[in-house]
Amino acid sequence: MFIAIGFIIVLSSVFGGYVLSGGSLGPLWQPTELLIIGGAGLGAFIAANSRKSIKGTLKAASRLKLSTKYNKDLYIELMVLLYTLLTKSKREGMKKVEQDIEKPLESAVFQRHPKIMADPMLMGFICDYMRMMVIGNINPHELDELMLHEIEELEHELSLGSDALNKVADAMPAFGIVAAVMGVVKALTLADASPQEMGEMIAHALVGTFLGILLAYGFFNPLATKIERQVAESVKILQCIRITLLASLHGEQPGIALEFGRKALHMDERPTAAELEDILRESKKVGTA
């Protein structure tokens, strides 16, 4: 929703202000200028990126939803799941948890948390490292290094889209100048044109500079920044899982380990300690039933 609202405000402010100042929208409609700028931008994007980067950009763009995926409700569901798994491992032994980790889609524990099951990244991260904890005799520092390395790699992979779009945004003003210069060259080659015709052609040429800057800072740059924000949210929730599991490995009780993880979340979205305690109490009743 915020993406659409932002774009509407950009277009309304730019073109609305232009019309209110007495300008006409007709001269701004220059399909050939759009073809030059858009085509050059697309070609440069393809030339500068590998197949993996292009695929990552398209995948990142497809994840631009109307609302953020990682919100307070999902954080709560994640912490309830981690609490359930860690409590079960403490009371019944890690071997009992192994059944849930090896076949999570068939696990009653995971089935109570459909939002987590719908996220392959979270499911893979939780199951992989819980499986290592089940194996036992693992050094917490080594596991921490491995988790940090994987989070770093995931961040790099998820950031391919924003990096590629930022590069395109940087190039748009330059391509706008290219389109404008070509328009000026065309106008100057028509020496027999009247002053009015020459003025119109120069005006049409300058539209290229305008479109390049507008596309760069009004559309491509905000999209790249939006993807960066989503990547940061993904990293944040993985850090929450990492800190919780490490606290448990160091011997903390599930409730305390969860408190460590809760502190890693954004302050305006993470549940309070009292809220989490009430939610965990209710989850125990559901699990018992």
CB atoms within 10 A of CB 185: 10
Average per-residue pLDDT for the chain: 87
Query: Is residue 63 pLDDT above 70, yes or no?
Result: no
For residue 271, what is the DSSP state?
A: P
How far is Cα 168 from Cα 41, in angstroms, rounded to an integer? Answer: 6
Domain range summary for the chain, segments of one domain joined by +: 32-66+159-229, 72-157+241-288
**Contact of 212 with 173, CB cutoff 8 Å:** yes
Categorise residue 253: left if φ over 0, alpha if ψ from -120 to 50, beta otherwise.
Answer: beta
What average pLDDT does the segment 231-237 reach? 91
How far is Cα 109 from Cα 123, in angstroms, rounded to an integer? Answer: 13
- 116's CB contacts (< 8 A; 6+ apart) are 74, 77, 78, 81, 110, 122, 123, 126
How far is Cα 46 from Cα 126, in angstroms, rounded to an integer? Answer: 36
Both tokens of residue 264?
Answer: 């890693």
At residue 8, the pLDDT reads: 92
Query: Can you give the pTM of this predicted structure?
Result: 0.83
> pLDDT tens digit string along 108-147?
889 999 999 988 899 999 999 988 888 777 788 999 999 9
At residue 167, the pLDDT reads: 92
**Contact of 157 with 63, CB cutoff 8 Å:** no
Query: Is residue 215 pLDDT above 80, yes or no?
Result: yes
Q: Comparing C-alpha atoms, which of 165, 143, 175 is closest to residue 244?
A: 143
Percent of the chain with pLDDT over 90: 40
> pLDDT tens digit string along 137-196?
778 899 999 999 999 999 998 888 889 999 999 999 999 999 999 988 888 888 677 888
- 63's CB contacts (< 8 A; 6+ apart) are 69, 227, 230
Percent of the chain with pLDDT over 70: 95
Q: Which amino acid is at 249?
A: L
What average pLDDT does the segment 268-272 reach? 84
pLDDT interval class at 287 (50, 70, 90): low
How far is Cα 184 from Cα 192, in angstroms, rounded to an integer? Answer: 15
How far is Cα 288 from Cα 75, in angstroms, rounded to an integer? Answer: 22
